[in-house]
Chains A and B, each alone.
Chain A
Amino acid sequence: MEKRQVVLPTLSRVAVCGGTHGNELSGVYLVRERLKKKKVVEEEEHVSVVTVMSNPRAVQHCRRYTETDLNRCFTRATLSSPVTDKTPYEIVRSQELNSLLGPKGSPEATDLVCDLHNTTANMGLCFIAYSDRDWISLHIYRHLQRQMSGIPVRFLHFDLPLNEAYSLDSVGKHGFAIEIGPQAHGLVRSNILSAMQEGVQHMLDWVRLFNSGAQFEGGQVEVYTMVKNVDYPRDPETCGLTAAIHPQLQDRDFCLLRPNDPLFQTFSGETLKYKGTEALYPFFVNECAYYEKGIALSLARQRSVGIPSIRSEREGERGKFKSAAEEIEEEETEEEGSPIEMECEKQSGSL
């Protein structure tokens, strides 16, 4: 168990984004209702919340995207590519969002970006993030796990460096997607929307508590780290599917898939088995939008991650401590096994 305490800057600006995919309606409806009830920027005690409809054109057409997937347009390369009148709408939009909520990687970036999504896969509520050591994200995850009993809450980690991180949530200093399923695209299920509203509320409550100086104890949390994607078996000529997800795997996201477990069922009734040597956890099982990306399901490893106790900087402490990004960067260059002592009495600069 981590004994140290980490002090981090307050999260004074938070963004809640929906409609990044225009047919994932929980986020669309949630953002629409927030915009109706409140100002676009909501200034309240301890936090300023910006509400954003990320891809209005796709929302209008109730499609995932109009020309290209917006949520793949936030790599450094795409954000800095020159814009011409041939540039796809979503790339223009990603650069607009980067100006609004970023710039990505800069000190001006929004402190926390939360991007709302739905999936046709039976994944419950999943945080999806690029780091398994961002204490803010992991503490919010643990908070939702403790507060929400009606839906499983999990944390998925995609191990990519910031430059290659391609989704909207990577624009903020901290960020994650909240993905909730199962829900068909193009419709709203009341239980799924309620879960998303509840999740966003708990997240904002946590941020207010954090900013007001509360201390959050350390502990252990379960994290799933993405290992690989698996495509459908396809016809070599047409590239069409020749099998569907096996009935024994369908809807069993996060149920351990062992070597030789059923994976696909061909249209002639044959069972194709999982040929990997390592038992892994499937997720995004039969996500509609991933057929075109060549993904039938993804596989992850699960492990336990220690999180330190954290609190926000107090008045007068500002600048005394490294920013969260700097701390994470330092940890990544630290040798294995050497603990970082960053207690609040200690002076900075000792590492």
Chain B
Amino acid sequence: MTSISNVSCFNEARRVAIFGGTHGNEMSGITLVNLWIKNGKEIQRKGVETKPFITNPRAVEKCTRYVDTDLNRAFTTENLSAPSGDDLPYEVKRAQQINEIFGPKGSPDAYDVIFDLHNTTSNMGCTLILESSKDHFNLQMMHYIKPALDMVYLEGLSLDLVCLEGLSLDLVGPQPQGVLRSNIFESMRVVLKHALDFIELFNEGLEFPPCSVDVFRVWDKMDYPRDTNGNIIAMVHPNLQDCDWEPLNPGDPMFQMFDGTTVRYEGVGTVYPTFINEAAYYEKQQAFVTTRRETLVAGAIKKA
């Protein structure tokens, strides 16, 4: 079959937002965004308006993940269309405000690209979480950034992340909540630098040829073993702790009960666990998430 060069054309990315503090205790994004609010020179690119923004200032002030409810789960259609009022949870009000400024979905006023900066206590390195596997623009951007860093992809929708369209979530770990580690901070900074470089090149008219990207697609969630009162009665097995993105085969140790016994993985095939021992997920009944490897192909793209 003759292949006809098939280039997808996208509009110039004129307005880019960088969110920090969506979770008020994830310090890399908060620190970077505050830095750039004060002096935005580092994030300036020709022909692009870049706006750094603290999404959850009240949570940041208290250095807590959220005040009333998780902002990163708050952008549901129901929440966004709820009549505004004082009795709404703080984060729902905030989601409405953010949607107003940076969205809404499909409107000509919506921002073209949004980066949402996060940390994790899991040993995930630098991970980019994309809303959709069909977004060729974001896939091409990921491909551009990847050689500089250790990075993988995770499909956001399967993680129950409900966010604005065009948002990609930049996640770096391991870092405890409330702590700022120099190396983690610098890694995130470099990711943003390359992402903005990509956008600048794209806006200048550079055509990016087709590429393939190795990704990890979310498969399933695994909770901790619990007793009848809902208390956790085991912990991530030492063989699994810190082994994000490494294969977990049927029969491999998964949890260690407090009495010392081992609970093994009983799935059908090999999976690649991640978000292993993320502190914020204890309350979401998630000890880790399993993923499967895939190679996605992104078509050529250029500016319209």
Contact = CB atoms under 8 A, between A and B. Distances in A.
Interface stretch (A169-177, A203-211, A240-248, A298-306): A240-248
B241 A189 contact: yes
B241 A190 contact: yes
Contacts of A223: none
Interface residues of B, number: 32
B121 interface: yes
A80 to B, nearest CB: 31
A193 B235 contact: yes
Contacts, number: 80
B181 A187 contact: no
B134 to A, nearest CB: 34
Contacts of B238: 190-191
A62 B280 CA distance: 10
A189 B278 CA distance: 11
Interface string B172-196: 0011111111110100000000000
A244 B180 contact: yes
A289 B63 CA distance: 10
Contacts of B256: 190
A246 B185 CA distance: 12
Contacts of A289: 178
Contacts of B258: 29, 33
A187 B277 contact: yes
Contacts of A250: 181-183
Nearest to A197: B258
A185 B241 contact: no
Q: Which interface residue of B175, B182, B183, B231 has the most chain A CB atoms within 10 A?
A: B182
A246 B182 CA distance: 7
Contacts of B178: 120, 185, 288-289, 291
Instruction: Give the top 7 A-B pairs by smallest Cβ distance, nearest first.
Output: A184-B176, A186-B279, A288-B178, A187-B279, A244-B182, A120-B176, A184-B121
Given A120-B179, A186-B282, A241-B31, 16 more contacts: A29-B258, A32-B231, A120-B176, A184-B174, A184-B279, A185-B176, A188-B277, A189-B236, A190-B237, A190-B238, A190-B256, A250-B181, A250-B183, A267-B35, A267-B185, A286-B181
Interface of A: 29, 32-33, 62-63, 120, 182, 184-191, 193, 240-241, 244-247, 250, 265, 267, 286, 288-289, 291-292
6 contacts: A184-B176, A187-B278, A190-B238, A240-B34, A267-B31, A288-B177
